[in-house]
Amino acid sequence: MFQGETAITIDDKGRLAVPTAYRDLVARECGNRLVITYNPFESGSLYLYPQAVWERVRDQVNALPKAKKVNRSMQLKLVGAAAFVELDGNGRISIPASHRAAVGIEKKAVLLGMGDKFELWSEQAHHAQIRQTISDEDLSEELLDLQL
């Protein structure tokens, strides 16, 4: 559904313009609503889910036993921090200040289409992640079998 990398500018009010290539898809498939929450696996980024995808993820995460610390952490980062955002008439969404501050997103960011969701990275964290991935020699056996 979503793919590609787009450099994004966050305005002074904490808004970003959803790339025009995605606006019709977000309107049609998501009713102009997305859910924004923390990426529980990597610092420096946020997840933006279409509402239907989000509801499945939320239900799976909430079904995990709350007595396990790792599950509770996942529930706090994903479900507890989730916020609905809606495209305005100019195709922009407001990123909550608390979310921006927590992952270090200021003026420059990178929006990645990741299939069923977007990832919004601070520009600095995205560049660091790319450098790490490129230099990372610890590839799993599953990745070695891919025909890229």
Q: List helix spans (H) across the chain.
A: 20-30, 51-62, 69-75, 97-103, 123-135, 141-144
Over range 20-47, report the average pLDDT.
Answer: 91
pTM: 0.86
Summarize pLDDT for 105-134 with one digit per residue, the tens: 999 999 999 999 999 999 998 888 877 765
Cα 38 to Cα 73: distance, rounded to the nearest angstrom: 11
Q: What domains lie within the chain, and their CATH numbers?
A: 2-135 (3.40.1550.20)
H helix or E strand, kind and range, residue 5 = strand 2-9
DSSP string, 98-123: HHHHHHT--SEEEEEEEESSEEEEEH
Summarize pLDDT for 91-107 with one digit per residue, the tens: 999 999 999 999 999 99
